[in-house]
Structure 1
């Protein structure tokens, strides 16, 4: 698998953590952001599923 086929970061260059240590831009936790480069694609997909849940909560 080439690097271009890997799961890409959801970063939107709005980097600020809220009170729960979740980025207000990409909705990843500080730990998820720090570990992103070491994660497998499956781990990244799981993070993106969690990100989607967090985004839904913010939208409500």
Structure 2
């Protein structure tokens, strides 16, 4: 298992309310990413993935 958790950022930084539609993280999670410990990053990635599954697909797909 890798020690480093990579950022879920996919360089589609567009906010819809408090949520990035590219990675699924909240603005606060994005701000705190660098200071998060590994377990917190893992939980954040899981929550972000669940949020993305609930979003409607982007237009054109």
For the aligned pair, the TM-score class normalised by the smaller chain equals 0.7 to 0.9
- 1 or 2 for the larger relative contact order (CA 8 Å, sep ≥6)? 2
Q: Which has the higher strand share?
A: 2
The alignment of Structure 1 onto Structure 2 pairs a total of residues equal to 56
Q: Which has the higher helix share?
A: 1
When the two chains are superposed, the root-mean-square deviation of aligned CA atoms in Å is: 1.7
Show structure 1 runs of 5+ residues with no match: none
- When the two structures are superposed, what TM-score results if normalisation uses the length of structure 2? 0.81
- When the two structures are superposed, what TM-score results if normalisation uses the length of structure 1? 0.83
Show structure 2 runs of 5+ residues with no match: none
